[in-house]
Structure 1
Amino acid sequence: MTVVWWLAGVVVLVVGGVVAPIGWHGWPSTVVGNVFALSLVVSGLVLAWWRTHPRLVAVAGGGLWLVAGGLSSWGWFPDPALVILALLSTVAALGFRGWQGAAGLAGYLLILFYLVGDPNPVPLMMFSVPGFLAGTVLRQRREVAARLAARGRELEEERELFADLALRHERARIAAELHDIVGHAISVMIIQAAAGQRLVDRDPDRTREAFAAIAESARQGRGDLQRLVDLLGGAASGGPDLAVIDEVVDRAARSGLDVSCRFEGVRDGLPAPVAHLAFRVVQESLTNALRYAPGAAVRVTVSGSVQILVVRVENAPGSGADAGVAGCGQGLTGLRERIQELGGRLSAGPVVGGGWAVEAGLPL
């Protein structure tokens, strides 16, 4: 609808500003006079394409105006036609940027002034320069709007990218938590179940202890899963402290693991993320000791200072057969990534004597 109204406006302008005035004063009877009149008419009609081809409109319309200026002595020049010149100047500013458009307009006006032969240049200046300045302002507004729109699209793409990264990070965090919770509980249950199978006929008392350990590990795993579900659901959760390390060490000892724990230095008032990761380091290390070094003595040391909390879990070589509980290989990798996010470090490897040690340094 806007295009239709603009085309109608162009037609009205040409008819009212050129055709009607020239016809009122008498349409030229000579060929040259008709060329003069038609040049003014067509210079106005080409404005219909100013949106799609501004440079072409400016060049074609301006050229026709030069023809009309050179032939102005062959016919009566209607003053309303200067409105077409103003519109062509505006379109020229839209099509040509900066100094190119300004220099082109200046040169054009000099040629047109020479061809018209009018001793007074004010009318040409009044109907060209303001239009050119208005077109320049309109073009700059369009360019700013285009840049803002492009920046808006970039920001939207960045927002979607950050949202996707945040989603992946949250999924990885949940997967790591599930691994720590389920992996530890299932490892203890499998090892105790295997022990119960071996002892069921020859030592009923120890068999009952093994099944009791299985039940306790299952209850603890269920409780940990429920806390994770509550946390993901937005429920308030009290921040963990190093007391949970005592709990996991006690449970491991009751399941038959030869484990001891010693605390040194500061252990109260630790940030919740640090205490949680310290607990996960101990839990993952005890789980690996149960899997790969059954019967080995495990020593847990937690040393706190003003700047760093160091957690070290070291086990001797296993004295029994491998428990046959294969891990997924992601436990220590996931822990290292989470610790590095806090600016800490995690190292794991063999020690002198054939054992294995895991040590984490967590900044406070």
Structure 2
Amino acid sequence: MRCWHHEGVRPLRPLYAGLTWRRWTFLLLGGLLCAPTAVVVAFVGGTANALLRPEALAIGVTFGVSLLLMAGLGLLPVVRKLEGAVAAELLGAPQVIGTCARWPARLRAAVWFVGHLFCGALACGATIFAPPAIGYGLIRPLLAKDAMIWPSLLGLVVIPAFLYGIVLAGHLAARVAEWALGPSAQERVEAAERRASVQVERTRLARELHDSVGHALSIVTVQSAAAERILDRDPDFARQALKAIEESARTALEDLDHVLGLLREEESARAPQRTLRDLDDLLAKTGLDIRVDRDGDLDRLPSAVSREAYRIIQEGLTNVAKHAGHVPVDLRLSARPGVLDLELRNPMGARTHGRDTGGRGLAGLSERVGVLAGRISAGALDGHWRLAASIPLPKGTA
């Protein structure tokens, strides 16, 4: 029974919905805006009737002047903004208003403004004259005994038609507003490109934070734990560990300040572009026992390759400290003609066995190396964890 009652009143919902009458109010506002124009049109019409013959020519001139006046107002960008704001509030149209100042967008806004004024004038006329006319048709048989009953029957038909006409007019106005006042196809494409650009920048910043700050925090954790264990037995080593913690924290603060500067859109923010030239400083801060095997002239590598190689080593050492602990690490760098080979190998500690050590860092490294058309792999091999990357080099680099 409840379902039947619910379905029964559904066709009546638009008649008492607040959105319907807000839309009708929007149309009535068009009629009010049309009033000042009507004064100008009346003046032009009187002048045309006095100067022009035949009468049809005067009417045509009056109509043309009124149309040009309304269209000229509609071409103004401020009118488009005002119409869009009111349409979003009363029509329930999309909140995003087009801002394109090109002529196609301005012409659509002009067509909309002219239509709003004309339809508003009709809506005002219907609101003023329709209810009294319908009411008179309904009560006329009661006032005159010899009156025909068909006006009353016609009034009963006109009432729902008038009310649903209000609903339909508001719905059509909302749909047309999307075309006339909303963003153009070019604006939608530009907005999508801006969103994609923002997403790319966010991804890059996330990588920067993970690679630099995440690495520094891992080193701080390892070094502080080592310093605590040997503070009484070897104060000199503990002092070195604390020094490494200080330097790692300072580096992390610099990287964090850079990222925050980018988020504030500061033009002075510059990314710390660390490359393989800074490798010795990186290895000294880790506190790990690292054996390095260098082959080739690493200083002649392209800056992009050297930078990404540095990040790969940084991420690999961070994972060693996080998952394997204080274990010996073998690092091999080989710059051969046409390719840079990088390999990081360490024994798998107790915390590494039985768990997946891959994470966002390795996924980010895969994307970085992929941009340079290189390859990267990571996994267990003969009781060791091996991280290897191969990056192509331009001819004549190594």
Q: Normalization by structure 1: what TM-score?
A: 0.53
Match of residue 191 from structure 1: 222
Alignment match of 2:281 (pick from 244, 247, 255): 247
SS at the partner of 1:268? Answer: helix
The code of the aligned residue for 2:201 comes to E
The 2-side partners of 1:50 and 1:303 are apart by 80
The code of the aligned residue for 2:362 comes to L
Match of residue 116 from structure 2: none
Match of residue 341 from structure 1: 371
The 2-side partners of 1:184 and 1:244 are apart by 15
Alignment match of 2:248 (pick from 220, 241, 261): 220
Give yes or no for contact 2:223–2:245 (8 Å, CA) kept in 1.
no
The residue correspondences of 1:254-293 to structure 2 (distance < 5 A) are 255=287, 257-293=288-324
Q: Render the CA deviation track for 1:95-145: whole Å, top value 9, x for unaligned.
A: xxxxxxxxxxxxxxxxxxxxxxxxxxxxxxxxxxxxxxxxxxxxxxxxxxx
The 1-side partners of 2:211 and 2:273 are apart by 18
The 2-side partners of 1:156 and 1:295 are apart by 55
Match of residue 64 from structure 1: none
Q: Identify if the C-alpha distance between structure 1 residues 196 and 183 changes in structure 2 by more than 3 Å, giving closer, same or farther.
A: same
What 5-or-longer segments of structure 2 have no aligned partner? Answer: 1-35, 69-179, 394-398
Matched, 1:18 2:63: no
Give yes or no for contact 2:216–2:252 (8 Å, CA) kept in 1.
no
Match of residue 17 from structure 2: none
Q: Identify if the C-alpha distance between structure 1 residues 327 and 167 changes in structure 2 by more than 3 Å, giving closer, same or farther.
A: farther
Alignment match of 2:389 (pick from 354, 357, 360): 360
Per-residue deviation, 1:289: 1.1
SS at the partner of 2:279? Answer: helix
SS at the partner of 1:17? Answer: coil
Q: Render the CA deviation track for 1:288-319: whole Å, top value 9, x for unaligned.
A: 1122123433211112234332222122222x
Matched, 1:164 2:195: yes
Per-residue deviation, 1:183: 1.9
Match of residue 315 from structure 1: 346
The 2-side partners of 1:150 and 1:305 are apart by 60
Per-residue deviation, 1:236: 6.6
Per-residue deviation, 1:230: 5.6
The 2-side partners of 1:238 and 1:361 are apart by 24
The 2-side partners of 1:312 and 1:328 are apart by 16
Q: Which has the larger displacement, 328-337 or 3-12?
A: 3-12
The 2-side partners of 1:265 and 1:4 are apart by 87
Q: Render the CA deviation track for 1:225-281: whole Å, top value 9, x for unaligned.
A: 3266368552677854422223322333xx2x2321112234122222221211111
Give yes or no for contact 1:240–1:276 (8 Å, CA) kept in 2.
yes
The residue correspondences of 1:17-166 to structure 2 (distance < 5 A) are 17-18=53-54, 40=56, 44=60, 47=63, 51=67, 153-166=184-197
Q: Render the CA deviation track for 1:170-208: whole Å, top value 9, x for unaligned.
A: 2322222222222222222222333344445xx521x55
Match of residue 300 from structure 1: 331
The 1-side partners of 2:59 and 2:351 are apart by 98
Match of residue 158 from structure 2: none
Q: Normalization by structure 2: what TM-score?
A: 0.49
Per-residue deviation, 1:363: 3.5
Of all paired residues, the percent bearing the same amino acid is: 29
Kindly name which structure, 1 or 2, has the bigger radius of gyration based on alpha carbons: 1
Alignment match of 1:178 (pick from 185, 205, 209): 209
* CA RMSD, Structure 1 to Structure 2 (Å): 4.0
What is the number of residues matched between the two proteins?
239
